[in-house]
Structure 1
Amino acid sequence: MRISTSQFYNTNSANYQRNFANTVKTQQEASDGIRVRTAADDPVGAARLLQLEQQQNMLKQYSGNITNVRNALGTAESTLSSIGTILQRVNELAVSSGNASFTDADRKANADELSSLEDQLFSLMNSKDENGKYLFSGSKGDTPPYVRNADGTYSYQGDQSSLMLQVGDMLSLAANETGYDAFEQALNTSRSETKLTVPSPDDGRISLSNGQVSGSSTFNDRFRSGEPYSIEFTSSTQFKITDTNGNDVTLEATQGGKFDPNGENTSINFRGVDLRLDITFKPGDEVDYDAALAGHTFTLGAKPDSISGTRSPGNGASGSQVTGASITDESLYKAAFPGGGAILKISDSDPTKFDLYAAPMDANSRPIGSGTLAGTGTAADPFTATAAGVTFELSTAPDAGDSFAIKADTHQTQNVLDTIGQLRTALMTPMDKDPAARQNFLASLDSAIGNIASATNQVSSSISAIGGRGQALDVQAETNEALSTENLKTQSSIRESDPAEVMLRLQMQTNMLQASLQAYAKVAGLSLVNYI
């Protein structure tokens, strides 16, 4: 087989260039220890490295999210702790106000301090974070969570949305605590009421408070199933309780319905409700105390839902307001009225037509009730709209397109701002030398103390929830750190070289380069002239 001179040159040149390139590549690998630079170096290893780098980037993002969540929760926890401290002082003022030696002036002094504490709470509950967003508004960070209404009550404007951030492959945590969870879910202990039915008018001999719910489970399971109850006093030491079906349930009350007419702050417990009883005999009753009290009858039941409405800011020039609302069809109300509130919307084309929507309303919402306004607009016959078992009264004829936010208060919960406002009002009411006013005040005080305790427990639960999330963050941070360390180790094992193997390979490739150079020089020196 004949080989041309050019073939000799080309073959030896290619061998030399290949060996030179391999040697240079190995020298670079020996200097920086990197084995895989491109996918061509190791296709499988390069694909695996890409996956590992993506995981490492996600772990870095998780680390940033953990920091953000921890900072946000720290701010919320600090604010809630400050609120808890104020509530502790509010409770101290409430308890001290029940001192029998306190005068109207003493109670007014407590009311003045309560007013300052109420303002502090209002400010704290509307706190902002470092980004200028409201802490307790849920996803509505630009909306103040609480506003003070014209009647002195407070309304929550935020929502129930938790701002979730992913902190691990399988874990997302809320970076916020909503005002709905922290403040709006405090159980209202004053959700029962009594009414004197016999005699009429009240002769002032028996005072029975509206009651305080001391056991929510008993109240919901036992009390609600038998209401309304009738409490009839049969003598000066005994009363009888019958449920809505006429069954005698007196034995479930304290001491089986017996009481001491001369006792002070007599308390009656019945199916999870504590009632304060006070007896005031009139001159001449000493002839027959039993006859003086026998026949006095009260009804006892849960407070009925109350409906209120507020005018939307974008309404027309009519100035129409919802001045009253009443439940006219109890069964329809329970079946159809939305628990989260409603929107009463006047038709855009006909101001006499209306629709009722579940809140919040959007372009896809469908009405749960529709109708035509009734009434002539006079004081005796106001404009009314009836839907979902509720009749709404309007102050004037509305404009087309007007809307009104409707809220149903079930009395199950009460925010602490309203509780403090009610307590402040009770403390400002004169009662010196007025036993009846004193009795009403003590009932209001019982309500305030119970609701303050409920609000404090709710704030404490929110702080505990934040603490639980903080512990979860710590565990997840450790997990992410361990994953990151193992990820880097795996990347290193794939990307980096074995120094001993690289040096052996470099030595071999250097020898091969030298040999190819010598072979090239030898071939280059060959000539037929040498053999002539």
Structure 2
Amino acid sequence: MRLTNNQIFSRSMQDMSQTQKRLNTAHSQVTSQEKFRTSGDAPAEIAKSSYLNDEIKKNTQYQTNGLMLKSTLGLEESTLNNLHIAMERGRVLSVRALNGSVDSQDRYAISLEIDQVQKEVFSLVNSKNASGDFIFSGTASHLQAYVKDDQTGEYTYRGNEQDNDIQIATNVYIKGSDNGKRVFESAPARLTANSSNLTGNIMTVTTEVVDQGEYDNFHGKNYDHSNPANNTFKLNVIAPLLPGKSDTFEILDSTNSVLQSGNFTSEKGIRFNGVNITAQGASPGSVDISLEPPNNVNILNTLESLKTALTDTSLSNTEFRERMADAQIGIENAKNSVMSTMSTLGGRNNTITRVTESNESFKVINQEAMAILTEADLAAAMTDLTKEQNILEMSYKSFNKINNLSLFNSVS
């Protein structure tokens, strides 16, 4: 078969063009260290690498979220710890106020220190983060968490009950803060009892919880949320059947069942499930003793009531003791709520640490897999580059020789 010069020329040019293309590819791999120049070179591998790249970016954002979240939780923990210290100072002052040697001037001095404690607490519950958001306002972080109503003198919560959840992994969300409704509004107030509806010869009645644990247990077992009438007990003072005998008393529940009875002496206390009932008067007469409904109180209002009681000179000794007991238990319950929240912060920080370590591992694995798919083997690429350069040089030399092959070159 005869080969024309044109055929030889075209075939040689085609081979050199292919060699040049392979050389360019090898050179591109060496300089960019990437296997492929376009998605058309390897569609499946490029698609997989795009997915892995997205996962790496997600993990990087999760890591950033985790670091920011740790900083935010650290601020909250520090704030709660300072609140706990301030509350404990308030409790100590309320105990000092009950010292028998403390007079009205001392109580006033204590009230001034309580006022400073209250201001500190007010500042702490309205703490802001680096972005200027109130950390205890829930998702309504632009609103100040607590404000004072000038009309009532009470402190009210203005935030909401929703939490800022931060994503730190594909299916892991962590609360970025705790709303004040849960932290400060969930502390139970002290359970008490009161008297009302005095009849007959009963002149005055005072009720004082002298054993809080016993009364709380009785209250918990007997308080009826659905029917308030069942929460009222009646103390009846009954005249003696025989002359010369003393009056007697009986305490009835809402079904008129006798729960307790005995001899009655005016102004002598009657102990009833942790409550000391002192009635002044004689038979016949009665009074209703009611269980106060359970409710919650925030620490600011607890301190406000404590401050008011310390400066109220009209309170009797019994009333003053009751008000101090209200403050001490209110403060203690508020401290417990703060400590409970702090314990959850520790758990959240531990979760962030574990998830962050997992994210870092996944990131490294994805980066290695992506490198296998897209990054060129530099040693192999250098070998290919050298090989293609040699081939191209040989092609040029061969082309020159073949191009000069002609019968005319043989004619002398």
TM range (shorter): 0.7 to 0.9
Q: Which amino acid aligns with 2:290?
A: L
1:131 matched to 2:141? The reply is no
- Deviation of residue 85 (structure 1)? 0.7
Aligned-partner Cα distance in 1 for 2:138–2:111: 32
Change (3 A) 1:98 1:133: same
Q: Pick one of 267, 279, 296 that aligns with 1:413.
A: 296
Give the aligned partner of residue 288 of structure 2: 298
> What percentage of residue pairs aligned between the two structures are identical?
23
Q: In the TM superposition, what are the counterparts of 1:209-248 in structure 2 within 5 Å?
A: 209=208, 214=213, 219-224=219-224, 226-232=230-236, 240-248=250-258
8 Å CA contact retained: 1:52, 1:487: yes
Tell me which moved more, 138-147 or 504-513.
504-513
Q: Pick one of 273, 290, 312 that aligns with 1:429.
A: 312
8 Å CA contact retained: 1:145, 1:156: yes
TM-score, normalization by structure 1: 0.67
8 Å CA contact retained: 1:35, 1:41: no
Tell me which moved more, 142-151 or 508-517.
508-517
The alignment partner of 2:203 has SS state of coil
Aligned-partner Cα distance in 2 for 1:279–1:145: 45
Q: Deviations over 1:195-217 (max 9, x none)?
A: 2433467524x421378975878
Change (3 A) 1:265 1:524: farther
The alignment partner of 2:41 has SS state of coil
Give the aligned partner of residue 206 of structure 2: 207
Q: In the TM superposition, what are the counterparts of 1:104-503 in structure 2 within 5 Å?
A: 104-149=104-149, 150-190=151-191, 192-199=192-199, 203-204=203-204, 206-209=205-208, 214=213, 219-224=219-224, 226-232=230-236, 240-250=250-260, 268-269=272-273, 274-278=274-278, 292=282, 295-303=285-293, 412-430=295-313, 437-503=316-382
The alignment partner of 1:167 has SS state of strand
Q: Which amino acid aligns with 2:157?
A: Y
Change (3 A) 1:509 1:265: farther
Change (3 A) 1:198 1:218: closer
Give the aligned partner of residue 47 of structure 2: 47
Aligned-partner Cα distance in 1 for 2:202–2:93: 33
8 Å CA contact retained: 2:75, 2:129: yes
TM-score, normalization by structure 2: 0.85
Q: Deviations over 1:378-398 (max 9, x none)?
A: xxxxxxxxxxxxxxxxxxxxx
Q: Deviations over 1:28-68 (max 9, x none)?
A: 42455432332233222111110111111111111221122
RMSD: 3.2
8 Å CA contact retained: 2:200, 2:285: no
Aligned-partner Cα distance in 1 for 2:248–2:90: 38
- Deviation of residue 12 (structure 1)? 0.7
Change (3 A) 1:124 1:293: farther
Flag the structure with more relative contact order, 1 or 2, with Cα contacts below 8 A and sequence separation at least 6. 2
Tell me which moved more, 154-163 or 516-525.
516-525
Change (3 A) 1:276 1:463: farther
Larger helix share, 1 or 2: 2
Q: Which amino acid aligns with 2:114?
A: L
Give the aligned partner of residue 38 of structure 2: 38
Q: Which amino acid aligns with 1:209?
A: E
Q: Which amino acid aligns with 1:519?
A: S
8 Å CA contact retained: 1:268, 1:275: yes
Q: Which amino acid aligns with 1:517?
A: Y
Aligned-partner Cα distance in 1 for 2:271–2:323: 15
Gaps of 5+ in 1: 251-256, 283-291, 304-410
Gaps of 5+ in 2: 241-245
- Deviation of residue 528 (structure 1)? 3.0
The alignment partner of 2:288 has SS state of strand
Aligned-partner Cα distance in 1 for 2:394–2:137: 79
Change (3 A) 1:494 1:472: same
Aligned-partner Cα distance in 1 for 2:263–2:9: 124
